[in-house]
Amino acid sequence: MNIYRKVYEFAASAGAFEGYVYQKRLDDIDLNALTNWVSNLLSAYKLLSPDVRNEFQTSCDQTLGRAIRSVISFLETNHDIVISLKSMVKGELPESPDDFKKTEWFRRNRVHIVSIKTRRP
């Protein structure tokens, strides 16, 4: 599999995970699915070379860091899921699940989307 595809699939899964756990309670979560998801994330992360991981590590720290902040609201910090997630974060955790500190590199070449209203027959 192409390296760009591997990175994309890892990042997409990490972002989806962040969204899944955001503002959830333990009653809202399927713990078995969560365990499998984190296990798959960790396996994918470890399969990427350190050089490749270094290219996106800061963004990964932010995404998984916010997810960790969400998860520790319903699981103990010493839970296996939290430990596995923290093993993929190399920097400091964000302050909260809402702590977004990213540079939007794409704003310079922003594409404006025009909404067209259509009538249904």
User: Could you state, in order of their start, the residue ranges of all structural domains in the chain?
Assistant: 3-109
Arithmetic mean of pLDDT, 33-58: 97
Q: What is the pLDDT of residues 72-83, one digit of tens each?
A: 999 999 999 999
Give this prediction's pTM. 0.82
Q: Are 56 and 11 in contact (CB under 8 A)?
A: yes
**Around Cβ 6, how many Cβ atoms within 10 Å?**
14
Q: What is the pLDDT of residues 19-37, one digit of tens each?
A: 999 999 999 999 999 999 9
109 is written with which tokens? 């070449």
**CA 93 to the chain's CA centroid:** 13
Arithmetic mean of pLDDT, 94-120: 67
